[in-house]
Amino acid sequence: MKHIIFLFVFIHTSLFALNSVVTLTQEEKNYLHDNPIIKVCIDPSWMPFEVLTLEGKYEGIAADLLMLVSQRVGLKLDIVQVYTREESIEKAKNKECDILNFINKTPEYDTWLLFTEPLFSDQNVLITREEHPYIDNPKQLVHESIAISKGDSLLERFSDEFPNITAFSVATQEDAILLVSEKRVDMTIQSLMVAAHTIKKGSFFNLKIAGMPQNFTNYFRIAIVKNEPILQSILNKGIESISSLEKERIVNSHVPIIIKPGVDKKIWYIIVFIFLSISSILLWNYTLRKQVKKAIDINLANQKTMMQQTKKAELGELIGNISHQWREPLSNLSSINLMMIGLIEHQKEINTEFLYQKLKSIENTLDFMSQTMQNFLEFYKPSTIQQDFNIYDSVQQALSIVETSIISYDIRIEFLGNKEATLFGIKNEYMQIWLILINNAIHAFEQNEVKSKIITIDSSKHSIKFSDNAKGHIEPHDLSKGVGLLMCKQILGKYHQKLILENTKHGVCAMIISDT
């Protein structure tokens, strides 16, 4: 048996070594010399294929395959920072990158991109809820809907081939899965591996794979942005050097291993023995994981209850704020209305300039009330979309919600730092943090007499600070003392950030910094 294992390892290693040999022409070597760094545009949130982490690391099946190609041919890669698939395509069109990794060839892309041979293939599948019957032929479906991520080549193709199904575009593939799970659309179509990863990650246990449309296999390639056949030839040689075993090894590091029949009988015994040994360990781990999962579920339920209670408390306070916000404008409108009624009843002459001024005042008042309501709707609008947003603008929106309290307590707001600075995340969640920190400062001013009340908001590349001079004091490690501070900590934890509270000689400073 030792000889068999040795022979298996020897053959396995020899195959890798044989395939890894890449011979380049002198012209190709000259190209690499003249172009030492190749800029790469990617899809930053497409697991398990590719993702750009918060730390700037390029990971996933596509990342590992491209890295292997680059090592074989001697390319040095520079991953371009992008936040969406659409941004990546736009940068490619503007020639801000040299290649697009892991992209399907389509007639539209073929007009301006040069494609390599397939780097990887994967079947697309239809995903529905558990109760949906199996879909043998999508053309037979009537009055059904499908969600497909915007920018996906499948969107146009599926709409053309199956006009009987209403297609909707959504921001991400995760959004498509969520819409199906929530019964808002009937199905979505995605890569088998992406679907399995998303369903498992999101615990969408009410979903299933309900069909596999014919001729909908993904053939992922590397696309060359400029018309450079030499670079195409170099990449093709790198792709050709990757063996099936190497691809399986990369895939198995990101998705569960599938053992297929057809292996030599003696080697199969070895695999079965190893598999049974691992299964015993996995069974033990499974039992432990169930215990851990139960404890985690209880903890998550407690956290959810706490967040709901905090949200309800904020909602009550915000309803009070909006009633204050509208009290004065409504009084103003009522005053103008009564004045006009009085002038008409006493048959007084109303000149054009006077009427214009009053109508303009009404319009300005209604604009103010409309903007106030828009800010409230923006704050409470459910969202799962992460995007870049301007910090200063989001703080201004949060301030408008509590503007009456700020005016009532005669608080001055000072915004320091870079007004163009941005954050990446769910805007509403960060607005909730701003509102919690501002309300804590307002409550501190309620309790302490201060002549010149100031809240300072300082935004920089590495941190965001909310400081006040309310003479308050807080225990830096006891977030339960401040209203909503535990919720702030939980939200920031999603983005690998943390909240640090410091007592200054004037009041309290709340600082948001990266956790890395």
Do 2-120+218-252 and 309-514 show the same overall fold?
A: no
pTM score > 0.75 for this model? no
Q: In one letter, which amino acid is 108?
A: E
Please compute the mean of the pLDDT values over residues 319-324 and round it to a whole number: 59
Count of positions (residues) in the chain: 516
Give the C-alpha separation, 377 to 370, whole Å: 10
Maximum average pLDDT range among 78-82, 159-163, 478-482: 78-82
Residue pLDDT, tens place only, 409-458: 889 999 998 888 888 888 878 888 888 898 889 888 888 888 899 999 99
Q: Does 3.40.190.10 match the CATH number of domain 121-217? A: yes
* Burial degree of 271 (CB within 10 A; 0-12, 13-18, 19+): middle
**What confidence category does residue 208 fall into, taking pLDDT thresholds of 50, 70 and 90?**
confident
Q: What is the pLDDT of residue 67?
A: 95
**What confidence category does residue 380 fall into, taking pLDDT thresholds of 50, 70 and 90?**
low
Q: In one letter, which amino acid is 77?
A: L
What is the dotted CATH code of the domain comprising 2-120+218-252? 3.40.190.10
**What confidence category does residue 312 fall into, taking pLDDT thresholds of 50, 70 and 90?**
low
Q: Where are the domains of the chain?
A: 2-120+218-252, 121-217, 309-514
In this structure, are residues 122 and 192 in contact, taking their beta carbons and an 8 Å threshold? Answer: yes
In this structure, are residues 16 and 57 in contact, taking their beta carbons and an 8 Å threshold? Answer: no
Nearest to 221 by CA among 124, 123, 119: 119
Domain 309-514, CATH class in plain words: alpha beta
Residue pLDDT, tens place only, 99-129: 999 998 988 899 999 999 999 998 889 999 9
Using the predicted structure, report yes or no on whether residue 216 has a pLDDT greater than 90: no
Q: What is the three-class DSSP state of 248?
A: helix
Q: What is the pLDDT of residue 433?
A: 87
In this structure, are residues 241 and 20 in contact, taking their beta carbons and an 8 Å threshold? Answer: yes
Using the predicted structure, report yes or no on whether residue 53 has a pLDDT greater than 50: yes
**What confidence category does residue 178 fall into, taking pLDDT thresholds of 50, 70 and 90?**
confident
417 in the Ramachandran plot: left (φ > 0), alpha (ψ -120 to 50) or beta? left
Q: In one letter, which amino acid is 194?
A: V
